[in-house]
């Protein structure tokens, strides 16, 4: 037996011996705010030097504008909504038979390290061979610990650019806040200018760390055998960037460098200092990594390898983004771009862009922006963030890079609108986006298993049609009637949501749903009717499943001005989640209860 495993180990090493090392240098909450991407305010000499040796991608997207769902797409090579993992800290099992890319690489003989953030929405304890995902995942993980001659894949992640570091005080600014490039939708105040300047300071500090990692690689003698990829995990850690799936929230500064020995694995158009217009997204990076390592990406990965030994036959014509629950607050947004136009579909348009989110409101920019809106001191563009959303948005990045002029009603852009609508519909149907099924409902069906496995037979085309109808306020409420009686719970849910979105509250149509077997349907109908008692019945984390309570508490918070005699019962609800709830989810109920009590 010992001889067998020894033979297996050394044969695996031999299989991987003449393969490139791959180094990923990643950072958090920063878009392409580097000098090499044309940002004149940025001070990033090391990143700029790497770009001068390699290729930068001008049209690269993270698929989610917040860390955990974005990393879920990275680690799996799949759309997080396809697996029911699009909500922040979802913690769902992967579909049967699926593996994280590091597991596949390790099987091919690679030494895989992660220093050190994981933070994906997949339940690691339920991944087969979970201990074998990484050779090491910690702050001490390093490629230098591999076996002699073994190729490595290593991630070094810089957390100094994270949103939380923008609000760190005291801080002596390096960048001049008076010169900070403010987006037109942010108010021009000292607080906003300070936050933007500190954001750029953090990027400069991160750039210094990148320089040290590159120097370390050079000193190790491994530089000529190591392919380097650099990127941030989504857009800037500022409101209306992070958490919003516009280009501003999704565009990343992706750079790749291939040493001479491995240039045959490089993407099309590779040359020192080159810039690519190819559409690239996070779900492409896992299959690209495997392809560079000489491994054919498994068929369950939904991205396209953009280079390597197994490149995709055709490039992406469109890339996509999504927004689901952000911490304690629910939303449902999908976006699609062809590189010039960005199409955004808001499936919960009755909710404002800037829902109160405890973590986001700890930043000075968010607070002052909201305070000025409340005081009526903002212009129309700056006020939009705090108001309900249109059901659809279309922006031309060529003439409107800040995405401020909605072209949905423009006759000159009707063909572009239809083209991107159709592309998004095709994507949603092909991937079976489980984000259109309410979270509590799909987990009630899946129980402890994979939502993708448990819901594979649900009529997704009917669910998508129902969601689109519900969000379209131009359609009369009478068209929602068939949805309310549909056999599928998700379709009934969107029927109830359609009334809530329109504010129609048809009592005769909705009251039967207060007895629905689906908690999510009951909650949506109760909110539309303002039925506090029904919401109270689902809102206690001591008595109901955690995510059912979270959905009900969101509704109660939106109705808190109408609580009346039930106010005491609402305020008496428990605010501490059971210990059985995943640790990073526990605080969300407490945050909602705190806001309800204000």
pLDDT in tens, 345-376: 999 999 999 999 999 999 999 999 999 999 99
Last residue of some domain: 317, 335, 357? 317
pLDDT of 296 reads 97
pLDDT of 466 reads 98
CATH number of the domain that residue 260 is part of: 3.40.720.10
Residue 312 included in any domain: yes
Residue 56 included in any domain: yes
- Taking every pair of C-alpha atoms in the chain, what is the biggest distance, in angstroms? 76
pLDDT of 195 reads 98
Last residue of some domain: 294, 317, 340? 317
CATH number of the domain that residue 451 is part of: 1.25.10
DSSP per-residue string spanning 110-157 = -EEEEES----SB-GGGSTTGGGS-SEESTT--GGGSPTT--EEEEEE
pLDDT of 598 reads 86
pLDDT of 1 reads 47
Same domain, 153 and 291: yes
How many structural domains comprise the chain?
A: 2
Last residue of some domain: 264, 296, 317? 317
pLDDT of 7 reads 45
Residue 409 included in any domain: no
Residue 277: strand, helix, or coil: strand
pLDDT of 584 reads 84
Nearest to 432 by CA among 465, 456, 408, 405: 456
CA 567 – CA 563 distance, rounded (Å): 5
CB atoms near residue 459 (< 10 Å): 14
Nearest to 527 by CA among 568, 561, 491, 558: 558
Same domain, 311 and 431: no
**Domain range for 538:** 424-597
pLDDT of 129 reads 59
- pTM of the predicted protein model: 0.95
Residue 394 included in any domain: no
Residue 436 included in any domain: yes
Residue 396 included in any domain: no
The CA distances from residue 106 to 99, 113, 127, 431, in Å, are 11, 10, 15, 27
Residue 215 included in any domain: yes
Residue 196 included in any domain: yes
Which regions of the chain are under pLDDT 50?
A: 1-16
pLDDT of 10 reads 46
Helix 364-374 vs helix 190-219: crossing angle, to nearest 10? 160
Nearest to 29 by CA among 282, 212, 195, 199: 199
Query: Degrees (nearest 5) of the Cα angle 298, 86, 301?
Result: 10
Tokens 């899946």, residue located: 446
């Amino acid at each position: 037996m010992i001889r067998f495993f020894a033979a297996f180990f050394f044969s695996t090493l031999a299989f991987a011996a003449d393969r490139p090392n791959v180094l990923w240098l990643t950072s958090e909450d920063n878009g392409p705010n580097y000098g090499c991407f044309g940002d004149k305010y940025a001070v990033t000499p090391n990143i700029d030097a790497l770009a001068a040796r390699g290729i930068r991608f001008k049209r690269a997207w993270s698929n989610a504008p917040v860390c955990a769902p974005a990393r879920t797409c990275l680690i799996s090579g799949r759309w997080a909504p396809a697996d029911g993992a699009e909500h922040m800290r979802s913690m769902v099992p992967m579909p049967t038979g699926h593996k994280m890319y590091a597991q596949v690489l390790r099987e091919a003989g690679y030494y895989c390290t992660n220093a050190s953030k994981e933070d994906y929405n997949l339940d690691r304890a339920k991944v087969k061979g979970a201990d074998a995902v990484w050779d090491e995942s910690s702050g001490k993980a390093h490629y230098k610990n591999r076996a002699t001659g073994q190729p490595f894949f290593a991630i070094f992640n810089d957390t100094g650019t994270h949103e939380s570091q923008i609000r760190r005080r005291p801080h002596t600014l390096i960048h001049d806040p008076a010169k900070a490039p403010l987006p037109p939708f942010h108010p021009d105040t000292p607080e906003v200018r300070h936050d933007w300047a500190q954001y750029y300071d953090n990027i400069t500090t991160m750039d210094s760390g990148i320089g040290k990692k590159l120097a370390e690689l050079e000193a190790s003698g491994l530089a000529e055998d190591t392919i380097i990829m650099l990127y941030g995990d989504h857009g800037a850690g500022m409101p209306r960037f992070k958490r919003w799936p516009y280009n501003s929230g999704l565009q990343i500064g992706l750079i790749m460098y291939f040493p001479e020995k491995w240039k045959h694995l490089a993407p099309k158009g590779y040359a020192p200092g080159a810039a690519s217009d190819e559409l690239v997204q996070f779900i492409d990076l896992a299959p690209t990594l495997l392809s560079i390592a000489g491994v054919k990406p498994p068929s369950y990965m939904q991205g396209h390898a953009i280079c390597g030994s197994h490149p995709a036959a055709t490039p992406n014509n469109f890339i996509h983004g999504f927004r689901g629950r952000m911490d304690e607050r629910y939303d449902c947004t999908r976006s699609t771009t062809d590189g010039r136009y960005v199409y955004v579909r808001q499936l919960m348009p009755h909710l404002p862009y800037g829902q109160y989110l405890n973590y986001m409101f700890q930043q000075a920019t968010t607070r002052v922006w909201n305070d000025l809106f409340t005081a009526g001191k903002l212009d129309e563009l700056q006020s939009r963030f705090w108001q309900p959303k249109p059901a659809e948005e279309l922006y031309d990045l060529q003439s409107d890079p800040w995405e401020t002029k909605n072209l949905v009603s423009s006759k000159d852009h009707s063909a572009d609108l239809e083209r991107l609508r159709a592309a998004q519909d095709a994507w949603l149907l092909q991937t079976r986006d489980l984000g259109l099924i309410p979270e509590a409902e799909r987990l009630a069906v899946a129980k402890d298993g994979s939502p993708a496995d448990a819901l594979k037979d649900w009529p997704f085309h009917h669910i998508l049609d129902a969601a689109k109808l519900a969000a379209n306020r131009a359609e009369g409420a009478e068209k929602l009637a068939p949805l309310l009686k549909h056999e599928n719970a998700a379709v009934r849910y969107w029927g109830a949501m359609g009334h809530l979105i329109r504010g129609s509250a048809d009592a005769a149509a909705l009251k039967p749903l207060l007895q629905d077997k689906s908690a999510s349907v009951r909650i949506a109908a109760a909110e539309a009717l303002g039925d506090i008692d029904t919401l109270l019945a689902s809102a206690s984390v001591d008595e109901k499943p955690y995510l059912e309570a979270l959905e009900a508490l969101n509704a109660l918070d939106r109705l808190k001005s109408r609580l009346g005699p039930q106010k005491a019962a609402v305020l008496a609800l428990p605010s501490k989640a059971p210990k059985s709830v995943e640790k990073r989810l526990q605080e969300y109920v407490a945050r909602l209860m705190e806001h309800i009590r204000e």
